[in-house]
């Protein structure tokens, strides 16, 4: 592989004769890079300062992409184990059922260099961004940024997009060897056997499923009732949990992490269950999927207001309380998702360059990765029944049908579903029975995340069941919503299907 | 498994005291069953007569579902072979690299009974359809249908939805043992080694890729220039073909099937290439992916007009030339896709029951399965440049970038892409540079078929790049269109990206 720069050293790509920038972006992650690109595309003169050795941020370094990578490996290993029963499939497992983790991580570490390289090339050559890499910015005031060895940069605006770092719960033992967050997980240098994942969260569960799929004894510990933080119905919640349980991955919910125990390296964790009784779980690895904390310290000294979780408080124009200082991405707290980071950067650019736009973050589609994707958008059935009253629901598998549902409810599960219920799926769509409007949808399977972003668009447009029944589908799967809705949509008074 | 009926015998589920039906559907496949459901949902009194032993038609018997099943097995076997290089993956291949086909087909044959059972249950208990199974209808006139042993059924309308059967090319040897179409493929009773697939078509290629993936020596023979029948650009065509070639699956295009040779069973095929030279290819199995012919014979005796390919000619209301006689689905010819069958049935129901609707079939998204999905919607880049002139294109991988693209362009391919280029992907989206309107998109990878039906909706709505940049995406993959479009959309004068 040929890379375009030496990623161990500071790297400059900017016009050093610039007296004053239109905007300086602090951070070249998802929000900083997309914000910079939009800003540059609109004609603004921008400089992006990134402390790490690449553009693209933690997403491709050790967060979202790693999360998806581990999820995808978990899915494939899971399928390989299930299909092992079939004579035409390669035998599995090997080496007593345990798959080595270190080669999996090594591949990732090699692979991400290509991603860094591509991001660099695209940003520099195609998007014409100006940037510094491997250099840390300090904010002196709303119009002055300094970088060691470079002195001061003057700017009309600052967009703070420095992201967030891993949160570590305040319990004893988090400094033991063998305790990881996403940020240092790639430094793993041994093959664990007994794993405890703290947090049945979006960032905890993909790791837990990966550990389970490679053959580690894995337990998930969660403070809240399992999956209660997600806007999904009980049936979807139960289906998601059942699929994990089937694979030997229990979630100990309403259970608090008391301490991580060991001497030098981790040996066990102590938890306290809903019964108030403490118990000890053996562990040679503890993975903390306990969220992130915004890196707002960089601008609190100049008076930028933050909230209780250290998040920078911004209005719908991405402006902070200090004129000329904007913030976007994970540093603004709330849900820390790519769309929010990318769109937030774009919104900041628009507002600075006189094309005012309000950022609405209330309504979005989201996915939880386990061995499946659990995907949702809009209202749950429960919420809809409370708020709207008369509700029409299409649901698969249908309730009370005694054979296992033979139809594939997710991409890649076709006829397998009948023999391996583990590879089926679950889906529901909710309509207002009076106005016939689409209110929400939920899906457990594969492929949901490719379609739900567009279902969100239909939701925002106020699409009715009749419009959805008129869509031109591609066979089945998440599409199933279209064909199933069509089966009933001739009715004046809608009756549930499923 | 408990089934609800004995599928070897005729089965009745209808009110035999009915003097006159509002509509009789001839055929309970995709079009007949969806048409019947919509008709019933609108309050019409319907009877559906199906010659086969189940509802749902050839789709779940031996066509679309089998096609997807074989495609999905091809994809998984392909991945297993590629990943075999990795120490953490189960070893592959076994048994000299050849996977047995017969157990794969046996699983399908077991599995489809569950599908039949579910369709029966849903149609009878939930959709309240009235139907006959394992019984063949004859059409006496526009208002009279007969069934052996039952006498005459009177009806206000007839909807002919009897589908299409496999087309067999007029060459010698098609009656040899070892020559299959989709309709009899499940009768296969030996393990082939050398396979020739006739037709680089939507129905030929998934079979060809399956044969290749299980380890058969496979050759595809195609009359036209390869993939020229699909509205895709040359770069997408070349990428699709290159991915097949990488896996040892050549397409002999502009090559005509002259004869199938053998004595009793097939031994070889003779083809004539573009150079006019005949050559012989060894084969112990020939698969004909050469399309379907409408079963219009059932109504030509009463004067229903058909076209040159035996298709029933219908107007946009699904009406034939005979008042009271409608037709929908594959029997009407043209593109034979599920959406067309299902929607066509619905359109017939609407028009008969006084809720007039016109069926537009011009614009649709479509997928070709190989080891990947090649998916498209709207105009190609070439067509757009000819018709619209100034065009803006976002394309990945970007042209001229010297390292292999490390970003996953398709679901399930994450970081693998950099080490196994075979598992990357290709995508492009085309906009009108002046109006900024979305004109078309193409994708090679996985997951495209879950999103392109919604991209079609955006296309019909006249969505612009700015609207697409404002969508709230779920990470990347087919979504990539959203984020990539966003990177440039700040520009007044759009410049290609990719």
User: Which is nearest to A22 in space by CA: A153, A138, A119, A161?
Assistant: A153
Q: Is A134 exposed, middle or buried (0-12, 13-18, 19+ CB in 10 A)?
A: middle
User: A465: Cβ–Cβ under 8 A, 6 or more apart, which residues?
Assistant: A392, A431, A436, A437, A438, A485, A488, A489, A494
Q: Give dist(CA B349, CA B498) in Å, integer.
A: 46
| Mean pLDDT to the nearest integer, A275-290 | 97
User: Which is nearest to B23 in space by CA: B133, B132, B131, B159?
Assistant: B159
At residue A36 the predicted structure's pLDDT band, cuts being 50, 70 and 90, is very high
What are A208-233's pLDDT values in tens digits?
999 999 999 999 999 999 999 999 99
- State the residue for tokens 């089926």: A424
Q: What percent of chain A has pLDDT over 90?
A: 76
Check if the beta carbon of residue A344 is closer than 8 Å to that of residue A358.
no
Chain B residues with CB inside 8 Å of A474's CB? Answer: 339, 365-367, 375, 449-450, 452-453
- State the residue for tokens 């994942």: A197
Chain B residues with CB inside 8 Å of A214's CB? Answer: 88
User: Rg of chain B over CA atoms, in angstroms?
Assistant: 24
Q: pLDDT at position B148, please?
A: 96
Q: How many CB atoms lie within 10 A of CB A93?
A: 15
∠ Cα B49 B54 B55 (to 5°): 65
User: Which is nearest to B11 in space by CA: B53, B68, B47, B64?
Assistant: B53
Q: Is A248 exposed, middle or buried (0-12, 13-18, 19+ CB in 10 A)?
A: exposed
Chain B residues with CB inside 8 Å of A40's CB? Answer: 490
Chain B residues with CB inside 8 Å of A483's CB? Answer: 34, 338, 342
| Mean pLDDT to the nearest integer, A117-143 | 95
> Looking at residue A140, what DSSP letter applies?
E
Pairing of strands B138-141, B144-147: antiparallel
Range B278-283 contact pairs with CB under 8 angstroms and sequence separation of 24 or more: B281/B194, B281/B196, B281/B219, B281/B221, B282/B194, B282/B217, B283/B178, B283/B194, B283/B195, B283/B196, B283/B219
Q: Give dist(CA A112, CA A61) in Å, integer.
A: 7
Tell me how far CA of residue B124 lies from CA of A366, A466, B50, in angstroms. 36, 23, 14
Q: pLDDT at position A477, please?
A: 66
Q: Nearest residue on chain B to A497, judged by CA atoms?
A: B126
Q: Do B456 and A448 touch (CB under 8 A)?
A: no
Q: pLDDT at position B271, please?
A: 98
Q: Give dist(CA B32, CA B14) in Å, integer.
A: 16
Q: pLDDT at position A76, please?
A: 85
Q: Do A111 and B450 touch (CB under 8 A)?
A: no
User: Which is nearest to A87 in space by CA: B1, B191, B179?
Assistant: B191
Q: Give dist(CA A488, CA B46) in Å, integer.
A: 15
Q: pLDDT at position B317, please?
A: 98
What are A49-63's pLDDT values in tens digits?
999 999 999 999 999
At residue A99 the predicted structure's pLDDT band, cuts being 50, 70 and 90, is confident
Q: State the smallest CA–CA distance between residue A239 and chain B in angstroms.
A: 20
| Residue of A96, A343, A399, A406 to mutate when probing chain B, most B C-beta within 10 A | A406
User: Which is nearest to B158 in space by CA: B47, B301, B19?
Assistant: B47
Predicted model pTM: 0.94
Chain centre to alpha carbon of residue B378: 18
Q: pLDDT at position A415, please?
A: 55
- Total length of chain B: 498
Q: Do A473 and B482 touch (CB under 8 A)?
A: no
| Mean pLDDT to the nearest integer, A314-322 | 98
Q: Nearest residue on chain B to A404, judged by CA atoms?
A: B114
Q: State the smallest CA–CA distance between residue B479 and chain A in angstroms.
A: 7
Q: pLDDT at position B76, please?
A: 85
At residue A419 the predicted structure's pLDDT band, cuts being 50, 70 and 90, is low
What are A40-91's pLDDT values in tens digits?
999 999 999 999 999 999 999 999 989 988 998 898 888 888 777 776 777 7
Please tell me the least confidently modeled range out of A171-180, A270-279, B313-322, B473-482: B473-482
Q: pLDDT at position B95, please?
A: 54
Q: Do B471 and A454 touch (CB under 8 A)?
A: yes
Would the pLDDT of A367 be above 90?
A: yes
User: A242: Cβ–Cβ under 8 A, 6 or more apart, which residues?
Assistant: none
User: B152: Cβ–Cβ under 8 A, 6 or more apart, which residues?
Assistant: B140, B144, B145, B146
Q: pLDDT at position B412, please?
A: 65
Cis amide bond preceding B409, omega within 30: no
Q: pLDDT at position A446, please?
A: 85
Q: How many CB atoms lie within 10 A of CB B73?
A: 27
Q: Give dist(CA A152, CA A140) in Å, integer.
A: 9
For the packed helices B102-121 and B64-83, what is the interaxial angle rounded to 10 degrees?
140
**Which tokens in the block code for residue A360?**
């609405």
- State the residue for tokens 């139960």: A238
- State the residue for tokens 């290089």: B85
Q: State the smallest CA–CA distance between residue B256 and chain A in angstroms.
A: 31
Q: pLDDT at position B418, please?
A: 53
* Cβ-nearest to A475 among B64, B103, B488: B64
Q: What percent of chain A has pLDDT over 70?
A: 92
Q: Do A403 and B364 touch (CB under 8 A)?
A: no
Q: What is the ipTM of this complex?
A: 0.93
Q: Do A472 and B112 touch (CB under 8 A)?
A: no
Chain centre to alpha carbon of residue B196: 20
pLDDT one digit per residue (tens) for chain B, 498 residues? 566 678 888 999 999 999 999 999 999 999 999 999 999 999 999 999 999 999 999 999 999 989 988 998 898 888 888 777 776 777 765 555 678 899 889 888 888 888 898 899 999 999 999 999 999 999 999 999 999 999 999 999 999 999 999 999 999 999 999 999 999 999 999 999 999 999 999 999 999 999 999 999 999 999 999 999 999 999 999 999 998 998 999 999 999 999 999 999 999 999 999 999 999 999 999 999 999 999 999 999 999 999 999 999 999 999 999 999 999 999 999 999 999 999 999 999 999 999 999 999 999 999 999 998 999 999 999 999 999 999 999 988 877 776 666 555 666 666 555 566 667 788 899 999 999 999 999 999 888 888 999 999 999 999 999 999 999 998 876 678 899 899 999 999 998 888
Total H helices, total E strands in chain B: 12, 23
Q: Give dist(CA A468, CA A482) in Å, integer.
A: 6
Q: Give dist(CA B171, CA B166) in Å, integer.
A: 15
Q: pLDDT at position A92, please?
A: 64
Q: Do A80 and B79 touch (CB under 8 A)?
A: no
* Cβ-nearest to A107 among B415, B479, B483: B415
Chain centre to alpha carbon of residue A147: 31
Chain A residues with CB inside 8 Å of B473's CB? Answer: 338-339, 342, 453
3-state helix, strand, coil in chain B (%, to 5): 30, 25, 45
How many Cβ pairs closer than 8 A exist between chain A and B? Answer: 305
At residue A426 the predicted structure's pLDDT band, cuts being 50, 70 and 90, is confident
């Amino acid at each position: 592989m040929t890379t375009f720069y030496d990623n161990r050293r500071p790297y400059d790509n900017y016009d050093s004769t610039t007296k004053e920038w239109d905007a300086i972006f602090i951070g070249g992650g998802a929000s900083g890079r997309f914000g910079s690109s939009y800003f540059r595309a609109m004609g603004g003169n921008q400089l992006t300062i990134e402390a790490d050795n690449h553009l693209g941020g933690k997403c491709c370094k050790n967060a979202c992409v790693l999360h998806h990578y581990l999820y995808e490996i978990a899915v494939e290993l899971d399928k390989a184990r299930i299909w092992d029963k079939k004579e035409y499939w390669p035998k599995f497992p090997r080496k007593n059922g345990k798959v080595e983790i270190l080669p999996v991580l090594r591949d990732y570490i090699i692979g991400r260099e290509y991603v860094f390289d591509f991001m660099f090339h695209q940003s520099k050559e195609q998007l014409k961004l100006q940037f510094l890499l491997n250099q840390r910015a300090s904010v002196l005031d709303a119009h002055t940024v300094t970088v060691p060895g470079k002195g001061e940069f003057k700017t009309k605006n600052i967009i703070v997009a420095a992201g967030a770092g891993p949160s570590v719960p305040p319990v004893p033992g988090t400094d033991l060897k063998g305790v990881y967050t996403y940020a240092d997980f790639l430094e793993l240098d041994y093959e664990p056997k007994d794993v405890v994942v703290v947090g049945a969260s979006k960032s905890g569960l993909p790791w837990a499923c990966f550990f389970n799929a490679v053959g580690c004894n894995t337990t998930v510990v969660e403070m809240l009732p399992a999956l209660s933080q997600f806007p999904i119905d009980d049936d979807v919640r139960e289906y998601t949990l059942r699929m994990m349980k089937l694979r030997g991955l229990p979630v100990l919910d309403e259970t608090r992490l008391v301490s991580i125990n060991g001497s030098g390296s981790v040996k066990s964790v102590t938890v306290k269950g809903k019964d108030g009784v403490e118990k000890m779980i053996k562990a040679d690895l503890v993975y903390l999927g306990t969220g992130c904390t915004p890196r707002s310290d960089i601008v609190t000294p100049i008076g930028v207001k933050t909230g209780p979780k250290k998040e920078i408080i911004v209005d719908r124009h991405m402006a902070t309380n200090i004129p000329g200082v904007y913030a976007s991405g994970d540093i603004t707290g709330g849900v820390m998702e790519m769309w929010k980071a990318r769109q937030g950067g774009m919104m900041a650019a628009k507002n600075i360059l006189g094309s005012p736009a309000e950022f609405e973050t209330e309504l979005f589609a989201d996915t939880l990765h386990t061995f499946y994707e659990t995907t949702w958008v809009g209202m749950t059935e429960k919420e809809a029944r409370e708020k709207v009253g008369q509700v029409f629901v299409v649901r698969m598998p249908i309730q009370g049908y005694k054979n296992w549902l033979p139809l594939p409810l997710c991409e890649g599960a076709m006829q397998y579903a009948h023999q391996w219920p583990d590879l089926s799926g679950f889906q529901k769509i909710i309509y207002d029975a009076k106005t016939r409007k689409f209110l929400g949808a939920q899906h457990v399977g594969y492929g949901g995340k490719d379609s739900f972003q567009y279902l969100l668009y239909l939701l925002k447009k106020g699409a009715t069941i009749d419009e959805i029944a008129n869509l031109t589908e591609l066979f089945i799967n998440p599409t199933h919503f279209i064909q199933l809705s069509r089966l009933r949509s001739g009715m004046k008074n809608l009756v549930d299907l499923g």
